[in-house]
Structure formats: structure tokens, C-alpha cells
Structure 1
Amino acid sequence: MPDTRPSPYFVLFNEIGIIHQLSRTLLEERLPDGLLSSHFGVLNHLVRVGEGTTPLAIARAFQVPKTTMTHTLGGCVKHGLIEMRPNPDDARSKCIWLTSKGREIRESMVAQAATGFEGFAEHFSEERIETLLPVLTEMRQFLDKARDAT
């Protein structure tokens, strides 16, 4: 009888997808009213890779259509989390900058995430998590590089 078990690669990415869904729900339960995980994602991205990037560059980083990112950025502007300023290199486009409110909410959410993971932290020690991070980072970098190559 042939082996019908899915490959470990499928199982890995399936588990990562489920973890993403569960962690997104946990995050959204703690966000201020009206904010979504996509808004937090933009704030986190701007802190992680730097401000002053274009909506198109952010859309590419998130691998979503520019129209979808425009809608997400509009929500961030509405909540006072980001500012859109003219692009100094191309007057036809804008660049995205965090506001002090956006930076504060991002920092608050990172701090709150720690409290949301109390039970998780009791089960998985920081040391155990830190052993996983290099492999996960390497996987992300590989996939990111492969995406840019296509």
C-alpha cells in the first residue's frame, strides 16, 4: 500500500498557516477598536524595515495588490497611525511615515503580546523558542529571496 502521508514540507507550512491564523486572532482581540491585524502589520513593517517607503513597495512586501494596500493604508491614516507625504524622488507617488500615535500603538501591542502569550510561555520557554528562531528566520529569508528572483 502506498504511503499517503503528506510530505513534511506540506505539514510544516500547514502548521505555520494555522499558527498564523491563531496568533492573528489573539492579536486582533487586543487591538484598539477599529484596528485590524493588517494595520498592525503595516506599523510593524515600518518599524522593522524603515519608514519613507512607497505604498507599492509595502504592497509588494505583503504580496497583496496595490489596491488592497491602499485600503489598508487608508485605515491607518484614518486612525492617525501613519502619514502619507509626497515622495521627494517622484512627485506622482507618496511615502509612508509613522506618526507618534502609530509608533505608540505598535509598541503597546508588542508589549501586550507578551501578556497574551503567558500560557504559551509557561509551556514553551524562551530558550526553546530561541532555538527555533534561526531556522524560521533562514526559511523566511530563503522564501523572500526566491520571491525576488521570480
Structure 2
Amino acid sequence: MSTTPRPDLANALISELLMADQLARNRLSKVLPKGMELSHFGVLNLLARQQAERSPAELARAFHVTRGAMTNTLSKLEWAGYVHIRPDWDDARRKMVAISPAGRAARDAALAAITPLIDDIARTLGEDRVRQTVPVLRELRLRLES
């Protein structure tokens, strides 16, 4: 049987999540390679992991940002040589985005820079607590997405 948590408990949950998000973004931003923003890393990381081209609209949906915000991020990444943007051969109104070799190298450098920070946090919390927390955070994210 499920009960609704007390309002102060729900408020504490959201407050802690927001503060943890702000602190994590701040700490991660400080260790990223010069000129790279978290949004850049996120896009490069997704493209590297999925190993497939994506449209700007698909990327905007994946990151829950506007198309304009994604266009801005992609313009910066293209200027840096980290992504290739080409017309969609099936629909000239659309574009397709792929990570470049320089983008993959930049993503790898960023990942190497943030890994010690992430590993330290996970080590401090302990593997068991991290394993227990991840499913809860995933469920929260999925509920917020719907």
C-alpha cells in the first residue's frame, strides 16, 4: 500500500535534488577542458555512446531543451570542429548531426577530466548506496519526463 509522503519530506527531496544538481554542475564545469560546457559534453557523450547520427530535433528532445537552445549548442560544437552537420538526404528540410574524430577526442578528454571527481563521490558514498540510489533517481526522472 502506497502512502503520500508528508509535504515537508517531498519538499526536502526536491530541495536536495536541486542543490545536488547545482553543486554537481558547478564542480563538473570546473574540471571540463577549457571552453567546454556541460551542454557540449552531454551532446558529444550521447553521440559517442549511440554511434549514430541524430537530428537537432531528436537531440533537443533527448536533453529536454528547445530547438533554439540545441541549435546554439550545435553551432558552437560545429565551430569547434566537434560535430559534422549535414542535410538529411531524404528530407532537405532536416539536418543530421554526427560526432567528428575531434569531437570524440574532446569527449574522451572531458570524460577523463570528470571521472576522478565522479569516482571520488561514488567511493565516498559506497557502492551499495550508489546501487540503491540509481534506480530511485531513474524512476524519479521517468516520472518527471511523463
Same fold (TM over 0.5): yes
- In the alignment, what sits opposite 2:37? 36
Superposition misfits of 4+ residues, deviation over 6 angstroms: none
Name the CA shift for 1:21/1:51 in 2 (closer, same or farther; >3 Å): farther
1:94 equivalent to 2:103? Answer: no
- In the alignment, what sits opposite 2:3? none
Q: Give the alignment's TM-score, normalised by structure 2.
A: 0.82
Question: Separation in 1 of the partners of 2:105 and 2:142?
Answer: 28
Q: CA deviation at 1:51?
A: 2.9
User: Which protein has greater RCO, CA pairs closer than 8 Å, 6+ apart?
Assistant: 2
- In the alignment, what sits opposite 1:11? 12
Question: Separation in 2 of the partners of 1:122 and 1:35?
Answer: 26
- In the alignment, what sits opposite 1:25? 26
* Structure 1 gap segments, 5+ residues each: none
Q: Deviations over 1:9-45 (max 9, x none)?
A: 3322222221111111112112222211111111123
Select between 46-55 and 84-93 the one with higher mean Cα deviation.
Answer: 46-55
Q: CA deviation at 1:134?
A: 1.7
Aligned length: 141
Question: Separation in 2 of the partners of 1:18 and 1:74?
Answer: 30
Q: CA deviation at 1:63?
A: 2.2
Question: Separation in 1 of the partners of 2:8 and 2:48?
Answer: 36
Report the RMSD for the aligned CA atoms in angstroms.
Answer: 2.1
- In the alignment, what sits opposite 1:136? 137
* Structure 2 gap segments, 5+ residues each: 1-5
